[in-house]
Each structure stands twice: as structure tokens, then as C-alpha cells.
Amino acid sequence: MFRSFPAMAFRTRCPVLDPAAFCFRPSTDLRNPETVISEPQAKVTLFEAAELLRNDEVVAIPTETVYGLAANAFSPAAITKIYATKNRPQDNPLIVHVSSLAMLEEILPDHRIPPIYLPVINRFWPGPLTIILPKSDRIPAIACNQPTVAVRFPSHPIARALITQCGFPLAAPSANSSGKPSPTIASHVISDLDTKIPLVLDGGQCYFGIESTVLDALRSPPAILRPGGVTFEALKEVLGMEELQVYKKHFVDVQLEMTPTTPGMKYRHYSPEAQVVLFEKPIPLGNGLVPTIDNTNCKGFELSTMVAMTILETDIESLRSSIAHEVEQLLSAGNRKFGILRTSSSSLQDITKNRGSTFKSSTEFTVVEKFLGSALHPEQVAHELFKCLREMDAQGMDVILVEGISEDREGLAVMNRLRKAASRIVTM
């Protein structure tokens, strides 16, 4: 007789780790920096995480962008666990994280960094920039079923120290269940992956709140495949990046559309449980500053550029009436709980304050408002966006109404994520 025992459920441990306990010497050397750990307990926790990773476990770690679900990039068994844990489609390749240029060279064919990337690395690493590089056999096919590999050198002290301690690069996608908004605090990871992973290192809220910029400079001209923490404006300043383009904004590549490697194109992304309605400006046609792509590895067609705009006082009336109209429709479809994510100070308050005069319908409904940040400070909006989307879900909203912002600076990444999260986009 055999008795079957239920699988032992374990809680995911989530120790707090102070990023200030780690620093790197010499601070300007990226070739082989050494980690200095000032707190004994931080050292114990870091060593424990490294040991799990050495044993092919996955561990969630803070980075300066979002939390990552890390595993040994050289181990097919460990990488299989990443895909299974977050239910990620097998054909969506992972970013490999390094903590020194020596480690980067180790994973490149001929140990050589393509010269086009040197000024970019010099300026933005360590930091929220991922670059597309030729792949060598050291990276297993399961991590990256592509001739290229995406690599990043994070600046977050905990991520850097952990990779250095491991001595091997870490493959890490964002540590959310596939399709959900990326986690920017440790409790987001727990709410998606509790009991599925042994450890989350809680390093507090991520500094940027949106994922890294993915840059492909193996193409000519270089292109941002996914806007993120390093802005288009800043990258364009760097030697070799003068002709930089943004995918979907300046060109579309039919070939890229068919592969999962253009971040976010093939799969559902960043979606909370509630449906998201995004209010944004129309894209004015004919104002494009857009080059036509005609080289062979980049067959594109011309798109108009979204002209950067912020919501001005004069726009607020039209925003208000668009939202009121939308809410009426959503009410008749049975929705009763509305979350509003504001980026300007006064645009949406009438919904809560002057409900009687704004709405024809007498149906009762509730409204929860959150301030994402000022439309004039897109970095604030980026910092709060995923967190606020998740908070709206936690409060059981049926619908989240979000104000769009201009595509200037971090606004490009914010609008990219919002358009992917939105089930409906209302242009005004």
C-alpha cells in the first residue's frame, strides 16, 4: 500500500537587503570591479542567493528597472525553470545580465565587443540599457533561440554584487507572471510567484519602474526595439547613434513583426486584470520627420511621428468630456468600479466631485483616483506606472482609465507600455 502525500507547499522567503550595503571598487572600472560588502547580514543573504543560483534555482532580484527572475545563463536546466515559473512562451528570448566587461567578452564570439557599442557602453553602463550582440555557443539555445543575444550590465548594487558573487551571467526576464505588469516592489513578485520560487531579495522600490531600453546597433541605422530607462534623446547624443530610430515610431520591419524578439509585439504585455482605457492625443499625419527605410535587412514603411504634446489647460475640457462619455458607456456595459490614473492636476476630478452634473446615468459607481506623476516629469510617471496598475487590481477595479502623456524622454517608454496594456485607446 502506498500513501500519497500532497506536495509540500513552501512559502517564498523574502529577506530585506539594503542596496547601500554594497559598493564597487574601483568605481570607474567596468572591466573587473570588486564588490565591497559592508554589512555581515547582507553578505550572508547574498551568499545564500548565489548558492541557490549555483544549484540551478531561480531567484527574484531587484534591478534599477524592475525586479528580474534570475537563473544561471549557462544552465539549460535553470533556464527551463524561468520559463516554467512565469509561464513564458518558449520562443521569447531572455536578457543576459553581466557584472563586468570581462564577463561580457567571455560570452561573445571571439571575445570581441562590436566597436559600434563601445561609446554607448562607456556612457550608459552600468544602467538600464540592453544591447543586442552576436551570440556564441556559451549561451544555450533555450535562453536565446536566435543568432543574437540581448545583454545588459545592471547598475543596481544588489544585482551587480550577486552576479559577481556567482561568477556567471544571469538570464533574467521581469519577475512577473507572463502578461502581467512588471514588478517594481518585492510584494508584486510575491503576489505573482509565491511558493513557486525559493527566494526574493527585497531591495525596495526599483529606481526607474519601467524595463531597460533594448538597442540593436547591429542594424544600420541603429534602432531602439523597446523604449525604456535610457531615453532616445540621450542615446542619440552618443557617437555612432546619430541616425538612431525607434521601432514602430520611425519604421516597421515585417521580418521583426513575425518574430517574438521585438519586445511586446507578439505577446500580450503589461496587462492588469481590469481593462485599461487609455486617453491620448491623435497622431497628426504629415508631421513626420521620418526617414524611409530601404536597406535590405530592414524592409520598412514610413510611419508618421507622434508629435510630442503635453496636456494643456485648453485640452482638459475635451479630456473631461471624453472620459465622461466613456464612463457612461462602460456603466451600461455593467462596470461599476473605476480606477483613474491622473497625470495632470485637474483633468479628472469632476468625475468624483461633480458626478450629478457630469453624468446622465443615475447608476451608482465608485471611483478610485491615483496620481501617477506630473505629465511634465515623465520619469515620475514611469516610476509609478506598473505599481499603480497593480494597486488598482488589488482594489478590485473593473476598469482603469489612464491619461496619456507626451512621448518626450521617458514618456516614450510610458506610452509604449500603456498602449500595450490598453484594451481600448480613445484619441481626442
Give the number of other CB atoms < 10 A from CB of residue 374.
16
Q: Given the C-alpha cell 490598453, which residue does it identify?
A: 422
Query: Of 251, 154, 211, nearest to 420 (Cα)?
Result: 211
- Burial bucket for residue 319 (CB in 10 Å: 0-12, 13-18, 19+): buried
Contact 193, 201 (CB under 8 A): no
Q: How far is the CB of 172 from ligand TXA (least distance, A)?
A: 5
Cell of 102: 570581462
Q: Given the C-alpha cell 546597433, which residue does it identify?
A: 217
Q: How far is the CB of 78 from Mg ion (least distance, A)?
A: 18
Residue 132, interface with ligand TXA (CB under 6 A)? yes
Encode burial over 362-373: b for 16+ CB neighbours within 10 A, e otherwise.
eeebebbebebb
Residue 92, interface with Mg ion (CB under 5 A)? no
Footprint of ligand TXA on 146-165 (CB under 6 A)? 146, 148-150, 152
Give the strand pairing for 129-134 and 148-152.
antiparallel
The residue from 45, 65, 85, 380 that contacts ligand TXA (CB under 6 A) is 65
Contact 63, 206 (CB under 8 A): yes
Residue 173, interface with ligand TXA (CB under 6 A)? yes
Residue 155 or 174: the one with the smaller Cβ distance to Mg ion is 174
Q: Any binding-site annotation on 174?
A: yes
Give the strand pairing for 337-342 and 399-403.
parallel
The residue from 35, 72, 75, 92 that contacts ligand TXA (CB under 6 A) is 92
Query: Considering CB distances under 5 to 8 angstroms, the limit depending on partner class, which of Mg ion, ligand TXA, none binds residue 402?
Result: none
Q: What three-state secondary structure class fits 78?
A: helix
Q: How far is the CB of 86 from ligand TXA (least distance, A)?
A: 9
Residue 261, interface with ligand TXA (CB under 6 A)? yes
Residue 130, interface with Mg ion (CB under 5 A)? no
Number of residues that bind Mg ion (CB under 5 A): 1
The residue from 58, 183, 209, 211 that contacts ligand TXA (CB under 6 A) is 211
Residue 163 or 214: the one with the smaller Cβ distance to Mg ion is 214
Cell of 185: 516592489
Residue 212, interface with Mg ion (CB under 5 A)? no
Q: How far is the CB of 159 from ligand TXA (least distance, A)?
A: 8
Q: CA-to-CA distance for 99 and 54, rounded, in angstroms? A: 16
Chain residues that interact with ligand TXA, rule: CB under 6 A? 63, 65-66, 68, 92-95, 128, 130, 132, 144, 146, 148-150, 152, 172-174, 211-212, 214, 225, 260-261, 263-264
